[in-house]
Amino acid sequence: MNSLTLESPAKINLCLYVLGKRPDGYHELLTLFQRISLRDRVLFRKTRSGFRLQCRHPLVPCDSRNLIEKAWRLVQSRTGLRGGMEVILDKRIPVAGGLGGGSSNAATTLLAANRLFGLRLSQPDLMEMGRKLGADVPFFLLETSRAIGRGRGDELQPLAGATKLSVLLTLFSSGISTKSVFESLSRPALGPTLTKLNCDIIMISVFLASKDLKGCSTLLRNDLFKAAHRMKPEIGRVLSFLRNSRPASAMSGSGPTVFSLAANRVETEAAASEISRKFGLATWVGSLY
Ligand code: C5P
Ligand 1 atom nearest the C-alpha of 135 is: 1
The answer to whether 104 and 142 have CB atoms below 8 angstroms apart is: no
27 lines ligand 1 (CB under 6 A): yes
Per-residue model confidence as pLDDT tens digits over 182-200 = 999 977 666 789 999 999 9
Q: Which residue's CA is the nearest one to ligand 1's atom 15?
A: 26
Q: How many CB atoms lie within 10 A of CB 110?
A: 26
Residues annotated as part of the active site: 11, 136
Task: Report if pTM > 0.85.
Answer: yes
Under DSSP, the state recorded for 140 is: G
Radius of gyration from C-alpha coordinates of the chain: 19
3-state class (DSSP) for residue 163? coil
Pairing state of beta strands 84-90 and 146-151? unpaired
| Ligand 1 neighbourhood includes 223 CB (under 6 angstroms) | no
Give residue 161's pLDDT band: very low, low, confident or very high (50, 70, 90).
confident
225-276 pLDDT, tens digit each = 999 999 999 999 999 999 999 999 999 999 999 999 999 999 999 999 999 9
pLDDT of the residue at 175: 92
Local structure of 4: helix, strand or coil: strand
Letter for the amino acid at 147? A
**What whole-number distance in Å separates Cα of residue 30 and Cα of residue 87?**
34
Q: Which residues, 6+ apart, have CB-to-CB distance to 111 below 8 Å? A: 6, 126, 141
Q: Which of 16, 182, 252 to mutate to test the pocket of ligand 1 (most atoms within 8 A of CB)?
A: 182
* Average pLDDT taken over every residue of the chain: 95
